[in-house]
């Protein structure tokens, strides 16, 4: 609904596919959802369509298709098939199979063990399946979500019956802290011996004569062009929120490393305690922690692949007195 994506669609409506009102537990379907979203953004639509950008009316409309089990989409040799899975009380819940040029990928969606999934996944190159690592001794009585998600043991049964060229875990709910190795160990112990991969953010999988797994979506080297404060000024003070400008950042997997003239480096990332937002391939926002003291610093960006940018020098000034007063009032 912003001008860039809307303009990119031109007069073509946004196609949305999803379930209808097929169960008492689902009082609204996909058509209701898109209708409500359109209504919520009527002011935005009016401004961009009628007052300022004058974007084409068709580009802000929804073309909604409510689906049931079976083929739901075909285009340019691509066929998408929806099939019911077991995510009760969420009903209907669908998994999807995508076929193209003699190859296929199956997504389980959210589900516990599903015989229907096994049937629809036969012959798939890649089967991408959710997983829940529940604690030892957990039951549906003690763990409310165990009844509608798949344990590694249940997923292993599905993998063994389908025998895909590659099985991949996604939607990993880890209640044990076992991590990737924990889910692999339990899957192997349950008897699945085929190719297995734990998915990570930005991973890509190439399917052809061989299956190639690339843990990173891009191997481009990031570049930092400048670092500013949140007002787009080059004067950066301790405690500021800064904006790092550049290109080829990897959204969802970046980190910023601040090196002082002497002493230990400070890293900011999604997994850190402070505010960090890698907004786009050309912008990262981060709130400077107390570790970033006044003085000379050198800033590098690191992608999820571990590729580092060149460093940019940043002089950090003393926090402004007014900021210190505001913080004292807050505390």
What are the phi and psi torsion angles at 185 (to 5°)? -60, -45
pLDDT of 251 strictly over 90: no
> What's the pLDDT score for residue 330?
47
Query: Which is higher by pLDDT, 330 or 286?
Result: 286
Q: Which residues on adjacent β-strands are paired with residue 103?
A: 100
* Interatomic CA distance for residues 225 and 204, integer angstroms: 28
Placement of tokens 């007069």 in the chain: 11
* Interatomic CA distance for residues 87 and 280, integer angstroms: 34
Residues across the chain: 331
In this prediction, residue 96 has a pLDDT band, given cuts at 50, 70 and 90, of very high
pLDDT of 198 strictly over 90: yes
For 212-243, write each residue's pLDDT tens digit: 998 876 678 999 999 999 999 999 999 999 99
> What's the pLDDT score for residue 218?
67
> What's the pLDDT score for residue 279?
75
Report which DSSP code applies to 279. E
User: Are 225 and 233 within 8 A, CB to CB?
Assistant: no
User: Are 213 and 250 within 8 A, CB to CB?
Assistant: no
* Interatomic CA distance for residues 194 and 187, integer angstroms: 10
- Joined tokens for residue 326: 């505001």
What secondary structure does DSSP assign to 130-192, as a single string? EEEEPPTT--TTT-TTGGGS--HHHHHHHHHHH--SEEEEEEEEESSS-HHHHHHHHHHHTT-
* Interatomic CA distance for residues 208 and 199, integer angstroms: 19
As a whole number of Å, the end-to-end CA separation of the chain is: 39
User: Are 294 and 286 within 8 A, CB to CB?
Assistant: no
Placement of tokens 């169960």 in the chain: 23
pLDDT of 271 strictly over 90: no
- Joined tokens for residue 45: 């639509």
CA distances from 292 to 201, 261, 308 (A): 29, 12, 20
User: Are 23 and 93 within 8 A, CB to CB?
Assistant: no
> What's the pLDDT score for residue 217?
66
Domains of the chain (ranges; CATH) run: 1-67 (no CATH), 68-215 (3.60.15.10), 223-330 (2.60.40.10)
Note the pTM of the prediction, 2 decimals: 0.71
In this prediction, residue 274 has a pLDDT band, given cuts at 50, 70 and 90, of confident
- Joined tokens for residue 42: 């009527």
User: Are 251 and 328 within 8 A, CB to CB?
Assistant: no
Interval 120-144 mean pLDDT = 93
- Joined tokens for residue 195: 């190719």
Interval 326-330 mean pLDDT = 46
CA distances from 191 to 125, 154, 285 (A): 20, 11, 45
Interval 48-57 mean pLDDT = 95
User: Are 19 and 94 within 8 A, CB to CB?
Assistant: yes
For 12-28, write each residue's pLDDT tens digit: 999 999 999 877 888 89
pLDDT of 86 strictly over 70: yes
User: Are 70 and 79 within 8 A, CB to CB?
Assistant: no
* Interatomic CA distance for residues 155 and 175, integer angstroms: 16
Cis peptide before 89 (omega within 30 of 0): yes
How far is C-alpha 120 from the chain's CA centre?
25
> What's the pLDDT score for residue 263?
86
């Amino acid at each position: 609904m912003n001008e860039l994506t809307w303009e990119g669609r031109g007069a073509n409506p946004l196609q949305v596919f999803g379930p209808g009102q097929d169960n008492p537990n689902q009082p609204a379907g996909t058509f209701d959802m898109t209708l409500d979203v359109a209504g919520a953004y009527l002011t935005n639509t009016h401004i961009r369509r009628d007052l300022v950008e004058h974007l084409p009316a068709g580009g802000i409309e929804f073309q909604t298709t409510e689906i049931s089990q079976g083929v739901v989409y075909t285009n340019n040799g691509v066929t998408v098939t929806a099939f019911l899975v077991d995510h009760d009380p969420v009903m209907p819940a669908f998994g999807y199979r995508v076929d193209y040029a003699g190859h296929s990928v199956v997504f389980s969606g959210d589900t516990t063990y599903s015989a229907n999934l096994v049937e629809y996944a036969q012959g798939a190159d890649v089967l991408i399946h959710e997983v829940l690592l529940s604690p030892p001794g957990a039951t549906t009585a003690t763990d409310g979500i165990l009844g509608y998600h798949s344990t590694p043991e249940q997923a292993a049964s599905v993998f063994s019956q389908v025998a895909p060229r590659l099985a991949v875990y996604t939607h990993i709910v880890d209640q044990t802290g076992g991590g990737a190795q924990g889910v692999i160990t339990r899957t192997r112990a349950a008897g699945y011996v085929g190719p297995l991969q734990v998915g990570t953010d930005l991973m890509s999988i190439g399917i052809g004569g061989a299956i190639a797994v690339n843990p990173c979506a891009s191997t481009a080297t990031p570049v930092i062009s400048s670092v500013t404060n949140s007002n787009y000024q080059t004067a950066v003070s301790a405690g500021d929120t800064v904006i790092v400008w550049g290109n080829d950042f990897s959204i969802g997997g970046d980190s910023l490393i601040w090196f002082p003239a002497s002493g230990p480096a400070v890293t900011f990332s999604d997994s850190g305690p402070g505010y960090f937002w890698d907004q786009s391939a050309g912008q990262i926002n981060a709130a400077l922690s107390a570790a970033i003291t006044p003085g000379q610093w050198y800033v590098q960006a690191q992608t999820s692949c571990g590729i580092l940018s060149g460093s940019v020098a940043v002089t950090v000034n003393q926090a402004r007195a007014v900021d210190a007063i505001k913080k004292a009032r807050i505390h």
